Amino acid sequence: MAGQYIPIKGRDGDFSAYRAVPASGTGPGVLVLQEIFGVNANMRLICDGLAEAGFVALCPDLFWRIEPGIELDDHIDPDLKRAFALFTRFDVETGMRDIADSLSALRADTACTGKAGAMGYCLGGLLAYLTACRTDSDASVGYYGVGIDARLDEARDLDRPLLLHIAGKDQFVPPDAQARIHDALDAHPAIRLEDYPDDDHAFARPGGLHYNETSAGQANGLTIRFLHDALN
3-state SS assignment for residue 76: coil
Q: Distance (Å, rounded) from C-alpha 127 to C-alpha 95? A: 8
Q: What is the mean pLDDT of residues 167-186?
A: 98
Q: Distance (Å, rounded) from C-alpha 7 to C-alpha 81? A: 28
CB 19 within 8 A of CB 6: yes
Per-residue pLDDT, 51 = 98
Cα 120 off chain centre by: 1
Closest to 226 in 3D by CA, of 173, 163, 181: 163
Q: pLDDT class for 218, splitting at 50, 70, 90? A: very high
Residue 100: partners with Cβ closer than 8 Å, 6 or more residues away: 134, 135
Per-residue pLDDT, 222 = 98
Kindly report the pTM of this predicted structure: 0.97
Q: Distance (Å, rounded) from C-alpha 229 to C-alpha 232? A: 6
Query: 111: which DSSP letter?
Result: T
Q: Distance (Å, rounded) from C-alpha 198 to C-alpha 196? A: 6
pLDDT of residue 47 exceeding 80: yes
Q: pLDDT class for 71, splitting at 50, 70, 90? A: very high
CB 102 within 8 A of CB 57: no
State the burial class of residue 35 (Cβ atoms within 10 Å of its Cβ: 0-12, 13-18, 19+): buried
Closest to 133 in 3D by CA, of 164, 107, 105, 102: 164
Structural domains of the chain, ranges and CATH numbers in brackets:
4-231 (3.40.50.1820)
Residue 4: partners with Cβ closer than 8 Å, 6 or more residues away: 18, 19
Q: Distance (Å, rounded) from C-alpha 46 to C-alpha 87? A: 21
pLDDT of residue 2 exceeding 80: no
Q: Which of 170, 183, 199, 200 is catalytic?
A: 170
Pairing relation of β-strands 4-10 and 13-20? antiparallel
Per-residue pLDDT, 128 = 98
**Alpha helices, H only, the chain:** 41-52, 77-89, 92-108, 123-134, 175-185, 213-231
Give the Cβ contact number of residue 186 at 10 Å.
10
Q: Which of 61, 101, 199, 201 is catalytic?
A: 201
Active site residue 201: yes
pLDDT of residue 227 exceeding 70: yes
pLDDT of residue 1 exceeding 70: no
Q: Distance (Å, rounded) from C-alpha 136 to C-alpha 3? A: 25
